[in-house]
Amino acid sequence: MIVLDPNGEKVNLMALNVGPTHPATHHCVRLLAALDGETIVAGVHEIGFMHRGFEKMVERGTWQQVIPYTDRLNYCSAMMNNIAFCRAVENMYGIEIPERTKVLRVIVNELSRINDHFICVAAAFQDLGGTTPFMYAFNPREEIMLIWEKLTGARLTNSFARIGGLYRDSYDGFEDDVLAACKSVEKALKDLHACLDRNRIFLDRTVGVGKISAERAISYGWTGPCLRATGVESDLRKDEPYYDYETYDWEVVVGTQGDANDRLQVRLAEIEESVKIVRQALKRLAPGPVDIVDPRIRVPAHKLAYQDMEALIGRFKSVYEGIRVPEGEYYCASECANGELGFTIVSDGSGHPYRIKVRSPSFAHVSAFNELVEGLTLADSMATLPGLNMIAGELDR
């Protein structure tokens, strides 16, 4: 199209579709860019290619049946989502979960965060043409995946948390596996830093690219590592602590520039902090029950159902009717790998959720995407996107 630019000069712009399925968009997002040569002068983007009606589907099932759906939100750190959801419902019940469950949830949370951040950084480097860091990051990730396999039976969309407890206790040798994973994570971090920190090509491509100011990021509702990269010290684990996060010794990582490089470096530094938390949590892991004892909330153990009448009734009722969450409305947020994952829950006191609205961090991040890339070259826009760690599962729900 031919346009007059703000100075009144005639320019011939090309409208180019990037995506929906483009290798560098990772998932499905479409950017329609008006290009002047190689520079994006204006862009509009479209989402919703993976919209599958999460919020409509969950209204049809019971409260427990929501949990596997939440795994599909941010599938790079699936268990964090169902821990966040279970926490929201537990708060509505006003119940306190056992100490062992808290610690196990912290370990699972932090290992998931490590996984998620590794994927983000590795994929970002892959998009810029570097395949080696991808392998460095995926070795420890595989170790964590093997822990997930042993723990839950699944690799990707694994669900572990249950309302009022956990799917099951950890297996024998869990602590040793986690410790070994921590070691290889630290080794991989060293390798990654050696690859990225002083890499001329990488720095040229990412420093000062896709910059956003702290005020603008806050206005766009950015949370998590992306907001912290702009220098805002905001982390729900410190600000509104849950699961005793405030008693662990760790730091909130902040960046300074808010550019693509900062967003990746903040993630790498957060992995380091997460390893610290995991190591401390392992020391606190004492034997004990993982489920609360209340058949109205947490189903009685399977083996009890063969011997105990009450347990049989409890299992039957909680499967067929579902647990009855107290009537009311509530917004509860947890710090997930990408930022603040919130659930606005409306309960009418029946066995089915009346309405669950997911506040997904990716939605806020991606809404700023066209503003971030305007003025950049097309190639730089693809260096910006992976740093936002867009996950279509939680973006489109």
Partner 1 sequence: MESVIDILESKFGAKRDEKAKWDACVVVPKEYLHNAVEFLKNDPSMQFDMLLDLAGIDYLTYPNHEGPRFAISYAFKCTKKPGSRVRLKVLVSEADLKVPTITDLYASANWLEREVYDQYGLVFTGHPDLRRILNHVEFVGHPLRKDYPAQKRQWLSTTDFLIPELEKRLEDKGYRIVQRSKEIMPVEEEYLEGSIRE
Compare residues 119 and 217 and give the one whose CB is closer to partner 1.
217
Compare residues 238 and 317 and give the one whose CB is closer to partner 1.
238
Q: Residues 251, 257, 258, CA angle at the centre, nearest 5°?
A: 80
Compare residues 158 and 362 and give the one whose CB is closer to partner 1.
362
Among 2, 129, 247, 287, binds partner 1 (CB under 8 A): 2
- The reply on whether position 61 binds partner 1 by CB under 8 A is no
- Listing from the earlier edge strand, what are the strands of the sheet with 14-18? 14-18, 30-36, 39-46
Burial profile 212-224: b = 16 or more Cβ within 10 angstroms, e = fewer: bebeebeebbbbb
Q: Least distance to partner 1 from the beta carbon of 358, Å?
A: 9
- Cis before residue 20, ω within 30 degrees of 0? yes
Site residues (CB under 8 A) for partner 1, limited to 228-287: 232, 234, 238-240
- The reply on whether position 37 binds partner 1 by CB under 8 A is no
Which segments within 27-164 are labelled E, that is strand? 30-36, 39-46, 161-162
- Tell me the C-alpha distance between 267 and 281, whole Å: 21
Compare residues 168 and 238 and give the one whose CB is closer to partner 1.
238
Site residues (CB under 8 A) for partner 1, limited to 320-349: 326-333, 340, 342, 344, 346, 348-349
Site residues (CB under 8 A) for partner 1, limited to 87-146: 91-92
Among 21, 37, 38, 51, binds partner 1 (CB under 8 A): 51
Q: How many helices (H) and strands (E) does the chain have?
A: 16, 10
- The reply on whether position 149 binds partner 1 by CB under 8 A is no
- The reply on whether position 397 binds partner 1 by CB under 8 A is yes
- The reply on whether position 310 binds partner 1 by CB under 8 A is no
- Tell me the C-alpha distance between 226 and 278, whole Å: 23
Among 38, 55, 310, 321, binds partner 1 (CB under 8 A): 55
- The reply on whether position 187 binds partner 1 by CB under 8 A is no
Compare residues 46 and 176 and give the one whose CB is closer to partner 1.
46
- Tell me the C-alpha distance between 112 and 106, whole Å: 10
Among 22, 27, 32, 138, binds partner 1 (CB under 8 A): 32
Among 5, 149, 175, 197, binds partner 1 (CB under 8 A): 5
- Tell me the C-alpha distance between 268 and 262, whole Å: 10
Region binding partner 1 by CB under 8 A among candidate stretches 50-58, 125-133, 263-271, 382-390: 50-58
- Tell me the C-alpha distance between 99 and 111, whole Å: 19
Compare residues 10 and 200 and give the one whose CB is closer to partner 1.
10
Burial profile 127-140: b = 16 or more Cβ within 10 angstroms, e = fewer: bbebeebbebbeeb
Among 139, 184, 199, 370, binds partner 1 (CB under 8 A): 370
- The reply on whether position 56 binds partner 1 by CB under 8 A is yes
Please provide the DSSP assignment of 326-347 as one string: PSEEEEEEEEETTEEEEEEEEE
- The reply on whether position 65 binds partner 1 by CB under 8 A is no
Region binding partner 1 by CB under 8 A among candidate stretches 116-124, 262-270, 294-302, 364-372: 364-372
Residue with tokens 């969450």: 325
With 0-12 CB in 10 A as exposed, 13-18 as middle and 19+ as buried, what is 382? buried
Which candidate, 131, 314, 334, places its Cα nearest to that of 224?
334
Q: Least distance to partner 1 from the beta carbon of 348, Å?
A: 6
Q: 143 with 110: CB under 8 angstroms?
A: no
Residues engaged in binding partner 1 (CB under 8 A): 1-6, 10, 13, 15, 30, 32, 34, 41-44, 46-48, 51, 53, 55-57, 59-60, 91-92, 216, 218-221, 223, 227, 232, 234, 238-240, 326-333, 340, 342, 344, 346, 348-350, 354-355, 357, 359, 363-364, 367-368, 370, 374, 396-397
